[in-house]
Structures are given as structure tokens and as C-alpha cells.
Amino acid sequence: MDDSTLRLLDQVLFLLHAALVLFNLTGWAWRRTRRMHLLVIGLTFASWIGLGAWYGWGYCPLTDWHWQVKAALGETALPASYIKYYADAFTGESWDPGLIDAWVFGAALTALLLSLALNWHDWRRQRRRG
């Protein structure tokens, strides 16, 4: 792949991954997106835990693919965490990976629990209506 294609792919993966993170954190908030959110965040946890058993806990295929593109562009010493990479890049600081992982897991777990509770509420309300 040529350099311009890799740079475009880098940007596309950034936007896709950022959209996924944003949806994972907020998709539970709107009734219309709650079922999809539950599926997507469930798949995220399945990747982190299920695929993580083979590739390392917290494994994300999008991060893996994105890091392959960045490596092809010459970037080295990429962290395991997509969030750490961009937290470091946007703030100019080197964040503790354990702190970032704990924050990401806590935020995702909170979003999952909210999604479960609100989907359950929606399901019960719909069931009562008949």
C-alpha cells in the first residue's frame, strides 16, 4: 500500500474507532439506539474478554488493525490501548496505562449496566402495553 492510502486508512480507522467509543459510552441514552447499543457494547466486552483470552485482555480488533496501519507508516512503540495513545497525543502527557485501562473499563461497564437497565425497562413497558 502506498503512503497516501495508508494515511487515509489511518484517518478512517481513527474516525471509525472514535465513533465506536462514543457510541459505546452514550448509545444507551436514546430509546431508538438502546438495542443496537446493547449488541455493540456486548460485542466490545466479548472482544475484550473472549478474544482477550487469546490475544491479551482488552483486545480490540480495530486497535490491532489501526496499529498495523500506523506501524506501516513508521510509528513505533504503540501502546496496547487506543485511548492511551490518543490521551497522550491530545494532552502531550504520558498517561499511566493502568489508570487509562481502569477508566476505560469503568466507563464501559457503567454504559453496559445502564444499557441493560434501560433495555429491561423498555422491554417491561412494551410488554405491559401488549
pLDDT in the model for residue 1: 84
C-beta of residue 27 within 8 angstroms of C-beta of residue 33: yes
pLDDT digits (tens, 9 = 90+) for 15-60: 999 999 999 999 999 999 999 999 999 999 999 999 999 999 999 9
Q: List the one residue out of 103, 13, 108, 12 whose CA is nearest residue 67.
A: 13
CA 28/CA 114 separation, integer angstroms: 7
Q: How far apart are the first and last CA of the chain?
A: 56
Instruction: Report the predicted TM-score, pTM, of the whole model to 2 decimal places.
Output: 0.92
**Position 92 confidence tier, pLDDT thresholds 50, 70, 90:** very high
Where do we find the cell 486508512?
9
CA 116/CA 124 separation, integer angstroms: 12
CA 110/CA 106 separation, integer angstroms: 6
pLDDT > 70: what percent of the chain? Answer: 100
C-beta of residue 72 within 8 angstroms of C-beta of residue 1: yes
The domain ranges of the chain are 3-129
pLDDT in the model for residue 8: 97
CA 82/CA 103 separation, integer angstroms: 13
CA 61/CA 22 separation, integer angstroms: 17
Helices and strands of the chain, counted as H and E runs: 6, 0
